[in-house]
Amino acid sequence: MLKNVTRLFTMLSLWVSAVVFASPLGAFATEAAAASPTASADAHVWWFWPLVLLVFCFVLGVIAVLAGVGGGVLYVPLVSGFFPFHIDFVRGAGLMVALAGALAAGPGLLKRNLASLRLALPMALIASACAVVGAMLGLYLSKLDPRYVQTALGATIMGISILLLCSKNSEYPVVTKQDAISHALGIEGLYQDQATGKEFEWKTHRTFTGLLLFVVIGIMAGMFGLGAGWANIPVLNLLMGAPLKVSVATSKFLLSITDTSAAWVYMNQGAVIPLIAIPSIIGLMLGSLVGVRLLAVAKASFIRYMVIGVLFFAGFKALDKGLGLGILG
């Protein structure tokens, strides 16, 4: 039964990627319609796009879990490319999607003591303050010309896809000497692997560089409405030396703080439309629940490579659109 469901979702995933790869003309037709003065004459009933969005986000939620990426990073480039919504509202909804996901996952990670509050709090302060700046900067640039944001988003998404392709996590990084900042903040702990029962003492190093990188992460999260798990994990794990599972859990918890600050800016500026945001949140959350159940039997590595391909394409499309190159149109 579960295998049949898995097959169905693999087919759905393939279908979504086929649509994404094979329909640039359709997507551009949508964009052209959206950009044209006659866009207000949308012939669809009002619930058409919210319903399509709900189904799309459900599939996206399944795929995101199977591919091991956050929903937000897939949501913004794909929805901004293939739905008739202005990128301002897609970014606002993207932040709410990432925030809702992080809030739902955070308590479990904290209860199981997987997320480290001590590691998260200093990073979150930097990232959330910078996310506010990023959100304001993104809305300002979008007001000047949405192509600025589109171009930067495209370049960022292409960079993320390359990062996902190349990055290799380290389960238990070796940290020979804790740096002064980490020592002063007491960023250390004992990690017990539940599978083996072994305990690993961990501490971090290169904390200052990590904090500096969270400036960039915060700005990008706020500017593009992306969840920042794709950047948090490599910084916490590869740079600062936190164990992989601690990094993943702390990153998810961090998102609940970083995205909160940026989400408030978008909400206060009127860039969150419930008709777009709520079906997206519900679809992605339901999809994530199904994805978690399918994780055990799905060919996750294949889906991961497929998602990286889709991300690269979506990024290139945004870049093409932002720069007005017309390669895909």
Partner 1 sequence: MTKQKNVCVTPPEQMRYAIILERGAYLGILIMLITYAIYAFGILTPHVPIEVVTHSWHLGVHDYLEATNSPTGWDWVALVGTGDFINFIGLALLAVMTIICYATLILPYYRCGDYIYLSIVIAEIAVLTLAASGILGSGGH
Least distance between partner 1 and beta carbon 140 (Å): 8
Q: What part of residues 67-126 is at the interface with partner 1 (CB under 8 A)? A: 84-86, 88-89, 96, 99-100, 103-104, 106-108, 110-118, 121-122, 124-125
Least distance between partner 1 and beta carbon 15 (Å): 26
Q: Does 292 bind partner 1 (CB under 8 A)?
A: no
Nearer to partner 1, 129 or 300 (CB): 129
Q: Does 47 bind partner 1 (CB under 8 A)?
A: yes
Nearer to partner 1, 278 or 300 (CB): 278
Least distance between partner 1 and beta carbon 104 (Å): 6
Nearer to partner 1, 137 or 238 (CB): 137
Count of residues touching partner 1 (by CB under 8 A): 79
Among the listed residues 12, 52, 132, 290, the single contact to partner 1 using CB under 8 A:
132
Q: Does 262 bind partner 1 (CB under 8 A)?
A: yes
Nearer to partner 1, 126 or 158 (CB): 126
Among the listed residues 272, 284, 303, 318, the single contact to partner 1 using CB under 8 A:
272
Least distance between partner 1 and beta carbon 167 (Å): 23
Among the listed residues 270, 292, 324, 325, the single contact to partner 1 using CB under 8 A:
270
Nearer to partner 1, 101 or 312 (CB): 101
Q: What part of residues 177-236 is at the interface with partner 1 (CB under 8 A)? A: 184-186, 188-192, 194
Q: Does 17 bind partner 1 (CB under 8 A)?
A: no
Closest C-alpha among 209, 204, 200 to residue 183: 204
